[in-house]
Amino acid sequence: MSGGEQPKARTVRCPRCGAASLYAPENPYRPFCSQRCQQMDLGDWASERFRVAATPPEDEGDAAEPLQ
For 23-61, write each residue's pLDDT tens digit.
Answer: 999 999 999 999 999 999 999 999 999 888 888 877 766
Tell me the whole-structure pTM to 2 decimals: 0.64
Long-range contacts of 22-28 (CB under 8 A, 24+ apart): none
Q: How far apart are CA 27 and CA 14, in angstroms?
A: 12
Domain borders along the chain are 24-51
Q: Which helix (H) or strand (E) holds 13?
A: strand 10-13
